[in-house]
A and B are shown apart, each in its own frame.
Chain A
Amino acid sequence: MKLWSPFSGGQAKVGRLAPRKPSLAGLTIGVLDNGKPNAGVLLHRVAELLAARTGAAGVRGWSKPSAARPAEILDDIAKDAHVVLTGSAD
């Protein structure tokens, strides 16, 4: 029998990612900690190891109070960092 599908179209558009950097040398690596346990520990460790390996200028951290809420500091991060690492999940 013919049935109506219970799904409904979501977002169909595909956007463009920001252009990638050829190298991280001299750049500031931003870290946005989403507040989940150990998220900041992992993110900062990755950022520090990357900085040491690539000659990045340094690491700057931001955090949002709860993973359950959207971040309100994205403009600040965009102003002060060149690339950013962030996290999802427990």
Chain B
Amino acid sequence: MPAVVLGTDAFLSLAKATSAKHGLPHMPVALVPHPLGGIAAETARAKADAILDEVLRGLTTAPATPAATAAAGPTLVEAPDDLDGLQGWAMEHEWSDGLPVLPPTEARVAKILGRRAGDELVATLMPLDGRATLHAIAVNAALAGAGPEHLPVIVAALRAVAKPEFNLNAIQCTTHPCTPLVIVNGPIATRLGVAGGPNALGNGHRANAVIGRAVRLVLQNVGGARPGREDRATLGHPGKFTYCLAENEAQSPWEPLSVERGFGRDESTVTVCGSEGPHNVNDHGSTTGETLMAAIAGTAATTGSNNIYLAGDPLVILGPEHAQTIASSGWSKAEFKRRFWDAARVPLRKFSAANIERFRLTHPERFQGAGADTLLPFAGKPEDVMVIVAGGPGKHSAIVPTFGATRSVTERIER
């Protein structure tokens, strides 16, 4: 059936990428000036007049069918020899994330691949439906500065983000600031030096840096989410350079995330979440789980969060000292989740009338009949709240909200 896509001019690149992915790069698109959201309905209606002719033409006139381009396999290209010259070249050719890259030479890529078959397909990545073969992953790992030992973690993370419940297409293309957070569990974390202790989400750890960065470069280069084009993030966040940590299993009073999800303590896993940056929870005073909850729940229950209206499975990262305080109150991890889910709520009255009207329209099952005093939880149900223990000494924890319309995925790391 003839169709025309209407969009705003700021989003043309996303509309084009989406139609090209479906094999229809010539799909007619009619553009109105951005934005459509946050303006009066009358103003939105007024934008219709200017595109009538274009829409009618799109429904009644067939555009020329463009020629198919050949699918590219692994390609060698000529690049500047000197490392400084390479950096500008890599930006021009859209290979880089902005930080310096190391050259993916034949020798370095071969070393990362080892005896693995480069043509093995690990995942197909949205929005481009790009083929993440082991070779393509190794090339991006080489750019990121990763070594062969990091490849199994990177591969498992990419297998995880490609699972339908992760909703990668939306994570890659949304205006919301989210990116896969890679959580490593099990013995491989110690073996590779993936930090879960002091400054685990900060600088100073090569494994955290290169694993997260390689995953992100694959998503950009193979998945085809180029910043400001298919990746429509309004602001993004610094974790889009790299976002990886280990759970601090040694200092957790509870079972690790991987064990909670059915894996053995001797197995290594990655868990990916479509995450915002961490929001800090500072509490130096409380000495029980009950009293600490005010700071933790208060940090989560905010009006600007996607999780409040889309639910999902947001993450609580408890610093080891906060975790000990909670456990010494006799709470299991499940008990903490239940209490957190009860406490981390926002009353509907805190939202603007226009936002409430929009929620009722887009999510009637949650908002039809909800009154001003209805309390909106931060996750769909207590079990959906994710909890890990990470970090070093100190009285800080973090709330990591998600995109909402996404589910975390845990995958075993194969050696």
Which chain A residues have a beta carbon within 8 Å of chain B's beta carbons? 1-24, 30, 35-39, 41-43, 45-46, 49-50, 53-54, 65-69, 77-78, 81-90
Contacts and interface: CB of A to CB of B under 8 A. Distances in A.
A65 B22 contact: no
A11 B41 contact: no
A6 B258 CA distance: 31
A38 B167 contact: no
Contacts of A23: 60
Interface of B: 1-8, 10-11, 14-15, 18, 20-27, 32, 34-39, 41, 44-45, 47-49, 51-52, 55-56, 58-63, 65-81, 95, 103-106, 109, 128-133, 135-136, 139-140, 142-143, 167, 170, 174-175, 217, 221-222, 224, 232, 310, 358, 361-363, 403, 405
Given A3-B79, A46-B52, A12 B71 contact: yes
B74 A5 contact: yes
16 contacts: A2-B105, A3-B76, A4-B74, A4-B106, A5-B74, A5-B95, A6-B221, A7-B130, A7-B222, A8-B136, A14-B25, A14-B66, A14-B67, A46-B6, A50-B52, A83-B59
Contacts of B32: 42
Contacts of B77: 2-5
Contacts of A22: 60
A49 B51 CA distance: 11
Given A2-B105, A54-B56, A90 B37 contact: yes
A51 to B, nearest CB: 11
Contacts of A8: 72, 74, 130-133, 136, 221-222
A40 to B, nearest CB: 9
B5 A86 contact: yes
A20 B103 contact: no
B60 A20 contact: yes
Contacts of A41: 41, 44-45
Contacts of B131: 8-10
A88 B135 CA distance: 33
A90 B2 contact: no
Given A3-B77, A5-B74, A41-B41, A86 B11 contact: no
A12 B68 contact: yes
B178 to A, nearest CB: 11
A50 B21 CA distance: 29
Contacts of A18: 1-3
Given A17-B2, A41-B44, A84-B1, 8 more contacts: A2-B105, A14-B23, A14-B68, A15-B23, A21-B59, A66-B362, A86-B4, A90-B10
Contacts of B18: 88
A18 B4 CA distance: 11
B62 A88 contact: no
A69 B165 CA distance: 11
B7 A87 contact: yes
B374 to A, nearest CB: 20
Contact of B358 (A15, A16, A37): A37
A15 B136 CA distance: 26
A23 B135 CA distance: 50
B71 A6 contact: no
Given A5-B77, A6-B222, A38-B44, A24 B14 contact: no
Contact of A17 (B27, B74, B75, B310): B27
A43 to B, nearest CB: 6
